[in-house]
């Protein structure tokens, strides 16, 4: 077993907490005060939360009052779908086939919009599905949920086009920006979406904190109902004493994230180097190649070698990475994203996801390429031995 610190290439699963964020979290933990209390200690806690709200709003060009802190991206996504589902008896929810399971499993009645072989939403199909509304035109209670960037492939969706089609049909748009945040610049108002989800642990904060941004322009006739009831926290939209340290860390992580955005230029060069080297092997396929993708993500096959086997072999060689999406159970299951892109199960089961982050060097990348080649050679040789036996 390689006891050295692994070379971490799984930044879409979670990424390191910034050292400065740890300091802010420690400071918040030392502060005894409930942000709902009116005394000095309570007001100090309130200030940390409101400063973070301002920072998160600034990152995506939203209004601070529209930011609702949640327990993470999953809750933000669930809240968008379920609160909308509860808003009226006549609602429709459409989501792309490649959405995160926290969207797809948030309601049993989601209508799936297909994607093409590159993983991009089929805009024509979306238009047709919205045209075929079961209600008279102008009925406003339809929500379309499309992510900004996919966690497994990094493929970036044409959100402004989705917004324009949805707008023609009077539908609202939710965007899961959990993976895009911190990796590509974007702007809520320029995107034109009504709801947007974020998660802190993908940008250098801690897991268990996120936000749903409810854009001011959300039509007044749609009233999102909270999922959690009790206190009046988060302007009555999400009850429960706030996670002060997590939220303080989130706000600080945002500041570093914005400063670090230019570093993704170098990361994309390293990612491209991996893809160029490995796709010179016959039949290696990079999913989503040729379309806009996150600069750090690559989802590629190693022909004839299962993802399970690759992950163990890479782990033994000192590399941490995932198969497709990092499942909560730790088990590698078939990827609904690759299936939606029309990839056969046999091929999808040989795909791994490489997601790079700031600490990665070109030396790490050269080593990774070498290890990949070794695993490929070894595995194919042992398969041939088995076949010959």
By the criterion CB under 6 A, which residues form the site for ligand PLP? 72-74, 77, 100, 102, 147, 151, 176, 178-179, 199, 201, 210
Neighbours of 257 (CB within 10 A): 21
Helix (H) or strand (E) holding 353: strand 351-355
Q: How far is the CB of 322 from ligand PLP (least distance, A)?
A: 10
Q: How far apart are CA 39 and CA 150, in angstroms?
A: 44
Q: How far is the CB of 151 from ligand PLP (least distance, A)?
A: 3
Q: Order of strands across the sheet with 110-113?
A: 67-70, 210-214, 195-199, 172-176, 142-145, 92-96, 110-113
Q: How far is the CB of 342 from ligand PLP (least distance, A)?
A: 21
Would you list the DSSP string of 1-21? Answer: ---SPPEE-BTTT--PPPHHH
Q: How far apart are CA 247 and CA 207, in angstroms?
A: 10
CB 197 within 8 A of CB 211: yes
Q: How far is the CB of 100 from ligand PLP (least distance, A)?
A: 4
Q: Which single residue brings its beta carbon nearest to ligand PLP?
A: 73
Helix (H) or strand (E) holding 65: none
The residue among 194 and 379 lying less far from ligand PLP, judged by its C-beta, is 194
Out of 327, 334, 359, 362, the active site residue is: 327
The residue among 21 and 313 lying less far from ligand PLP, judged by its C-beta, is 21
The residue among 179 and 379 lying less far from ligand PLP, judged by its C-beta, is 179
Clarify whether 327 is annotated catalytic. Answer: yes
Which ranges of the chain does DSSP label H, i.e. alpha helix?
Answer: 19-30, 40-59, 73-85, 101-104, 123-131, 159-168, 188-191, 244-260, 264-278, 307-316, 336-340, 345-348, 362-388
The residue among 33 and 73 lying less far from ligand PLP, judged by its C-beta, is 73
The residue among 153 and 199 lying less far from ligand PLP, judged by its C-beta, is 199
Active site residues: 327
């Amino acid at each position: 077993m390689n006891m050295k610190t692994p070379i971490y290439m799984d930044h879409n699963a979670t990424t390191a907490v910034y050292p400065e964020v740890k300091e802010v979290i420690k400071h918040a933990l030392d502060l005894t005060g409930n942000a709902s209390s009116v005394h000095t200690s309570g007001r100090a806690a309130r200030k940390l939360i409101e400063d973070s709200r301002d920072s998160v709003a600034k990152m995506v060009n939203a209004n601070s009052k529209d930011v609702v802190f949640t327990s993470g991206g999953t809750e933000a996504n669930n809240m968008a779908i379920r609160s909308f589902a509860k808003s009226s008896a006549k609602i429709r929810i459409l989501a792309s086939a490649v959405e995160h399971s926290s969207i797809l499993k948030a309601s049993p009645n989601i209508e799936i919009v297909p994607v093409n072989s590159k993983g991009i939403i089929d805009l024509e199909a979306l238009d047709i599905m919205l045209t075929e509304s079961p209600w008279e035109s102008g009925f406003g209670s339809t929500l379309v949920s499309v992510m900004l960037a996919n966690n497994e492939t990094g493929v970036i969706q044409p959100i402004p086009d989705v917004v324009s089609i949805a707008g023609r049909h009077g539908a609202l748009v939710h965007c899961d920006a959990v993976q895009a945040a911190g990796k590509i610049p974007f702007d809520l108002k320029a995107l034109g979406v009504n709801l947007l989800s974020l998660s802190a642990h993908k940008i250098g904060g801690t897991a268990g904190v996120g936000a749903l941004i409810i854009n001011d322009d959300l039509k007044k006739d749609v009233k999102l109902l909270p999922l959690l009831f009790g206190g009046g926290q988060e302007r009555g939209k999400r009850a429960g004493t706030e996670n002060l340290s997590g939220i303080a860390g989130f706000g600080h992580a945002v500041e570093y994230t914005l400063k670090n955005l230019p570093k993704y230029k170098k990361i994309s060069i390293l990612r491209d180097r991996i893809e160029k080297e490995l796709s010179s092997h016959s039949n290696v396929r990079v999913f989503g190649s040729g379309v806009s993708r996150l600069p750090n993500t690559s989802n590629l096959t190693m022909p004839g070698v299962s993802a399970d086997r690759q992950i163990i072999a890479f782990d033994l060689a000192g590399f941490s990475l995932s198969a497709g999406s990092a499942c909560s159970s730790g088990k590698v299951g078939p990827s609904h994203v690759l299936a939606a892109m029309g990839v056969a199960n046999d091929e999808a089961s040989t795909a791994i996801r490489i997601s790079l982050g700031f600490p990665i060097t070109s030396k790490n990348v050269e080593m990774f390429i070498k290890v990949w080649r070794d695993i490929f050679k070894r595995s194919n040789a042992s398969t041939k031995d088995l076949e010959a036996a």
